[in-house]
């Protein structure tokens, strides 16, 4: 019987171990909304500009406009036939079901907001979740005189000749070609991670 006493601890811990695993498995829920694209794939996609679509190029028979601004902005004016889905709601089960449905039908979804940037976050999140058929409308939109205007807008273009503003510097300096004040470049020393030597062992 003394031997049995010894194994009592083992039995108890075994039962606890198995119970914990069982409870874990019974209460386990599969994660929803898993990323299908890696960071690098996303970066590559973002660089292509393929996801931007001009208003004139949108095929109305095969596309659905989605207005990602909030409900109030949407109620004031929107593109005809556009659905409203604020950015904050894009991951709700209802919205995901709608995206799945549109994807299955082979439709193109076009996001738009006040400008491209507003629609960008919603697009990027959904793109990373694997929805390839979503595009961003390459325009800004605004309400002018109760008409909803869609204007083409070029992204990431610097203001033309913006460096001219610094020309005041060089007026009297004998035609020197210093355009902008030299910005000091910050130098930051980065320490390499130190590898700790292996230790220990029994």
Binding site for another protein (CB under 8 A): 4, 7, 10-11, 14, 17-18, 21, 24-25, 28, 30-31, 33-35, 39-40, 42-43, 46-47, 87-88, 90-91, 116-117, 120-122, 124-125, 128-129, 155-159, 162-163, 165-166, 168-169, 171-173, 179-191, 193, 195-196, 198-202
CB contact at 8 A, 129 and 66: no
- What is the closest distance, in whole angstroms, from the C-beta atom of residue 111 to another protein in the complex? 13
Smallest distance from the beta carbon of 112 to another protein, in angstroms? 14
* Interior/surface letters 156-186, b for 16+ CB within 10 angstroms, e for the rest: eeeeeeeeeeeeeeeeeeeeeeeeeeeeeee
Nearer Cβ to another protein, position 146 or 173?
Answer: 173
Q: Nearer Cβ to another protein, position 116 or 133? A: 116
Question: What minimum distance in Å lies between the beta carbon of 139 and another protein?
Answer: 13
Tell me the C-alpha distance between 136 and 113, whole Å: 9
With respect to another protein, which residue has the nearer C-beta, 47 or 104?
A: 47
How distant is the alpha carbon of residue 114 from its chain centre?
17
Instruction: Decide whether 64 or 129 has the Cβ nearer to another protein.
Output: 129
Cα–Cα nearest to 106, from 71, 62, 50, 162: 62
The helix (run of H) or strand (run of E) holding residue 104 is: helix 93-104
């Amino acid at each position: 019987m003394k031997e049995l006493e010894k194994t009592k601890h083992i039995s108890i811990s075994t039962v606890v171990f198995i119970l914990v695993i069982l409870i874990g498995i019974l209460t386990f829920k599969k994660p929803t909304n898993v990323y299908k694209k890696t960071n690098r794939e996303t970066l590559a996609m973002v660089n292509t500009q393929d996801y931007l679509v001009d208003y004139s190029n949108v095929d109305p028979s095969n596309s659905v406009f989605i207005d990602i601004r909030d409900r109030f902005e949407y109620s004031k004016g929107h593109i005809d036939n556009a659905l409203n889905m604020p950015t904050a709601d894009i991951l709700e089960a209802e919205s995901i079901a709608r995206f799945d449905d549109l994807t299955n039908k082979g439709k193109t979804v076009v996001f738009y907001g006040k400008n491209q940037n507003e629609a960008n976050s919603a697009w990027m999140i959904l793109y990373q979740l694997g929805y390839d058929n979503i595009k961003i409308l390459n325009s800004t939109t605004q309400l002018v005189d109760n008409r909803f205007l869609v204007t083409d807008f070029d992204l990431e273009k610097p203001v033309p000749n913006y460096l001219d503003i610094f020309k005041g510097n060089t007026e009297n300096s004998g035609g020197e070609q210093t355009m902008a004040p030299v910005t000091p470049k910050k130098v930051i020393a980065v320490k390499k991670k130190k590898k700790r030597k292996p230790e220990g062992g029994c």
